[in-house]
Amino acid sequence: MTDVAAKPTDSLTVRDNRTGQEYEIAITDNTIAAKDLGQIRANEDDPGLATYDPGFVNTASCRSAVTYIDGDKGILEYRGYPIEQLAEKSTFLEVAYLLIHGDLPTKEQYENWVHEITYHTFVHENVKEFVQGFRYDAHPMGMLMASVGALSTFYPEAVNIHDADNRHMQMVRMIAKMPTLGAWSFRHAQGKPFVYPDNDLSYTENFLSMLFKMSESKYVADPRIAKALDVLLILHADHEQNCSTNAVRSVGSSQVDPYSAVAAGVGALFGPLHGGANEAVLRMLRRIGSKENIPAFIEGVKNGDERLMGFGHRVYKNYDPRAKLIKKACDDVFEVVGVNPLLEIAQELEKIALEDEYFVKRRLYPNVDFYSGLIYEALQFPPEMFTVLFAIGRTPGWLAQWNELITDKEQKIARPKQIYTGDRGLEFVAAEERWA
């Protein structure tokens, strides 16, 4: 038992029917410590009871003060602030400061923070050569993952993770350089020359400049586009202990530098089950083709012949609050670039699904991926760039979680147990005898 002072009502009584023995296990924050189950043994040689939880479906791996989610009520908060208020009233860099530092900045702190990040947007020229070394058809996420990992070789001091000032500098550098690396991977795939950062521009305006600037002396982004992109980055900034965040924390638990840890997060986000859902939504909408085909598609979903992409979430059992905000961003973007013809299909599909008892009963609501792909496509991003945009937005969250990990005295190097299912006690036979 970890908490002998726990009240009887704050404990769990477990009876082991193998032995008839009972155990009192403390309940703290509505959880029990997994190690407390280790005291439950059938005999002295028994290693003790463990939990089996593939995918961490019901296992808390850390204590965190960064992001709060109530999936049943559709609530998402960064450091206690509702995502709706941050998306409407804040900026991505202010949200990044909030996630990493835990508090909103003063005017002076914010100005210094923006200055630091703007100053560090440039990367070493050798990084440029590194990116240019990829094949013409290299996937932008593979390029981004490798480039982020490579930054650790340019900043060897980043291994001094217990120095708070050093950690701060590496986090500033990474937030600053991610748009540069992302934009260059985009330009490389198109065979276009790389555009250097413009420090006269805001964070999102600068990113758009590095993406789309051609022969003009100064790229001027439409403020509605810049704001919509800023909102999208805010909505993706953190999302509790998801797959990529868990990867950052797991790799970071070895006390490696933050570039290597975040590169692991980029790799996890590269997977289609994590970062590629919005591309799947676009494929689904194209396959439907028109509003008239939606009823047949819905029947196909019910019969198991089709998959409804962009609906449902492992955490949310209500309307994903980010999806509502992205719908508003859609309106702003399409006002500038014209309406994506798939939007009409998406809106009708959402309307029918939200009224259909089949989906209501299963609590399937639109998630953040349902509309985000439409915006990215409207901004002329190819599908392989969608996840790069996701990664740029998620970087402050990864770093906030990594920073929290480093300063958490309860954390240990990640080393989960396993249930061994293979053979044992086999006798080795030398190759010359096996092959005779």
Cβ–Cβ under 8 Å, residues 224 and 336: yes
Print the domain residue range for 48. Answer: 9-60
Q: 160 and 38 share a domain?
A: no
Q: 53 and 125 share a domain?
A: no
**Which of 60, 76, 97 is the C-terminal boundary of a domain?**
60
d(CA 417, CA 405): 20
Q: 28 and 46 share a domain?
A: yes
| pLDDT (0 to 100) of residue 126 | 97
| pLDDT (0 to 100) of residue 316 | 73
| pLDDT (0 to 100) of residue 195 | 97
pLDDT tens digits, one per residue of 212-238: 999 998 999 999 999 999 999 999 999
How large a percentage of the chain has pLDDT more than 90? 75
Q: 37 and 103 share a domain?
A: no
Q: How are beta strands 21-26 and 11-16 bridged, if at all?
A: antiparallel
| pLDDT (0 to 100) of residue 363 | 84
Give pTM, 2 decimals: 0.91
With respect to residue 355, please indicate whether it lies within any of the assigned structural domains. Answer: yes
Q: 320 and 257 share a domain?
A: yes
Closest CA to 379 of 322, 343, 331, 336: 336
- Tally of domains in the chain: 2
Options 188, 236, 239, 313, the catalytic residue: 313
| pLDDT (0 to 100) of residue 2 | 44
* 286 class by beta-carbon count within 10 Å (0-12 exposed, 13-18 middle, 19+ buried): exposed
Q: 55 and 142 share a domain?
A: no
Q: 140 and 17 share a domain?
A: no
Active site residue 168: no
What does the H/E/C string look like for 65-88? Answer: CCEEEECCCCEEEECCEEHHHHHH
pLDDT tens digits, one per residue of 134-164: 999 999 999 999 999 999 999 999 999 999 9
Instruction: Give the chain's mean pLDDT.
Output: 92
With respect to residue 77, please indicate whether it lies within any of the assigned structural domains. Answer: yes
Over the chain (436 residues), the average pLDDT of each successive run of 10 is: 52 94 94 93 91 93 96 92 96 98 98 98 97 95 97 97 98 98 96 96 97 93 94 96 96 98 97 82 91 93 89 76 84 86 88 86 83 86 92 98 97 94 96 94
Q: 188 and 315 share a domain?
A: yes
Q: 380 and 351 share a domain?
A: yes
Active site residue 313: yes
Options 356, 369, 408, 423, the catalytic residue: 369
With respect to residue 362, please indicate whether it lies within any of the assigned structural domains. Answer: yes
